[in-house]
Amino acid sequence: EDEGVGYTRSNVQVVVPRRVHRDGQPKDENMNDDIDHPEERIIQSHAYIWAQGASKLDLSCDWDYKTFLAEHLEWYLETTVKPVRIEMEEQHL
């Protein structure tokens, strides 16, 4: 399934560690506010995989989160998140 220019949505398996901090990082002894799971889990999910090859990537600069929020978030939510959300709701996922 094509998800816009350059990406393909793929089914993937994600390993969820037994203990993680709320920010998603593995827990260490100095962290609190963690989430405990009884055991490591593998869940099914979707990932957006770059499908156009490395030659079409601009590797000359870093990806900037603040720029993404200011300039691209609205487009991303409308063209990627919203259609997937609708599809998931239609499939009762």
For the stretch 36-79, pLDDT in tens is: 566 788 889 888 888 888 888 888 888 889 999 999 999 989 98
pLDDT value at position 24? 56
What is the average per-residue pLDDT within 12-28? 68
Q: Mean of the per-residue pLDDT values for the chain? A: 78
The yes-or-no verdict on residue 9 having pLDDT over 80 is yes
Distance CA 51, CA 60 (A): 19
4 — phi, psi (to 5°)?
Answer: 90, -170
